[in-house]
């Protein structure tokens, strides 16, 4: 691969899975098998999908600090092909980094680790989205090479409303704004960015968090505040995120 277009991927798997009844969702098995006929985990499916792209040469997985869910268990959740020596021409280098107290901090840790590998672009993906397909990964890469910041989105099906406490009956909320569905979308991952700029944005976001208590919900918000516009591309309805146990069915 031409170093001029070096691309890395960050897989976010450092969360506590608090809504999964004590079982870390990225380590749960899917109704699928890996190439050797073994049960495929959520994390295994994600890593396999990104490793299949010949344009991605480094993958960083963020893992919890807690040892019972950390790097050792993350490795066990991967197909055996990823437990062998990495860095071969046909396989991305696989790295692990402890996360932090928030998703943004965990991503920042991964980006800081990637500095030594000099990527030009990085794709950041939720480790709990195992149904990501090759088409969306490749379309995201194609778009980021042109636009520098890209996220996949889907249109809303339901009509959105903004609600709030208008000072009426205690504990009762009312609609405060009727939003236009045509202009509101749901964001997916992978979100892709020019690497030096997204690292800079996270460094600035860290300062704002410590000074003003700002809570950033995703990397597109971090980029939007410190770097500029974020381009959108069509997402995939199959690219669902696992949040609750029934999402695995």
> pLDDT of 72-91, one tens digit each?
999 999 999 887 655 455 67
Residue 169: predicted pLDDT: 67
Each residue's pLDDT tens digit, 204-221: 999 999 999 999 999 999
For residue 190, the tally of other CB atoms under 10 A from its CB is: 27
Each residue's pLDDT tens digit, 155-203: 999 999 999 886 666 778 889 999 999 999 999 999 999 999 999 999 9
Query: Which domains are assigned to the chain?
Result: 3-248 (3.90.550.10)
**Residue 102: is it exposed, middle or buried by C-beta count within 10 angstroms (0-12/13-18/19+)?**
middle
46/129 Cα distance (integer angstroms): 7
Percentage of the chain beyond pLDDT 90 is 76
Residue 209 tokens read as: 């968090």
Determine the average pLDDT of the residues in 150-154.
Answer: 98
**Residue 200: is it exposed, middle or buried by C-beta count within 10 angstroms (0-12/13-18/19+)?**
middle
**Residue 136: is it exposed, middle or buried by C-beta count within 10 angstroms (0-12/13-18/19+)?**
buried
Which helix or strand (DSSP H or E) is residue 123 part of?
strand 121-126
SS3 state of residue 94:
strand
Sign of the alpha-carbon torsion through 152, 40, 109, 208: positive
């Amino acid at each position: 691969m031409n170093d001029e277009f070096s691309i890395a991927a960050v897989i976010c798997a450092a969360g506590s899975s608090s809504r999964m009844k004590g079982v870390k969702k990225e380590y749960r098995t899917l109704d699928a098998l890996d190439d050797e006929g073994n049960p495929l985990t959520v994390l295994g499916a994600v890593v396999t999908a990104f490793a299949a792209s010949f344009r991605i040469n480094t993958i960083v997985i963020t893992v919890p600090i807690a040892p019972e869910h950390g790097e050792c268990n993350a490795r066990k959740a991967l197909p055996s092909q990823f437990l062998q020596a990495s860095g071969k021409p046909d396989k991305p280098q696989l790295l692990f980094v402890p996360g932090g107290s928030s998703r943004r901090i965990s991503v920042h840790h991964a980006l800081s680790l990637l500095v030594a590998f000099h990527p030009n672009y990085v794709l950041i993906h939720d480790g709990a989205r195992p149904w990501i397909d090759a088409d969306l990964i490749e379309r995201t890469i194609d778009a980021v090479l042109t636009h520098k910041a890209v996220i996949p989105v889907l249109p809303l099906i339901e009509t959105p409303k903004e609600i709030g406490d208008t000072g009426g009956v205690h504990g009762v909320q009312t609609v405060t704004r009727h939003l236009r569905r045509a202009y509101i979308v749901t964001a997916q991952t992978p979100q892709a960015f020019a690497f030096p700029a997204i690292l800079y944005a996270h460094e600035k976001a860290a300062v704002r968090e410590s000074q003003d208590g700002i809570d950033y919900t995703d990397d597109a918000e971090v980029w939007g505040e410190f770097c500029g516009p974020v381009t959108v591309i069509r997402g995939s309805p199959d690219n669902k995120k696992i949040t609750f146990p029934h999402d695995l069915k």
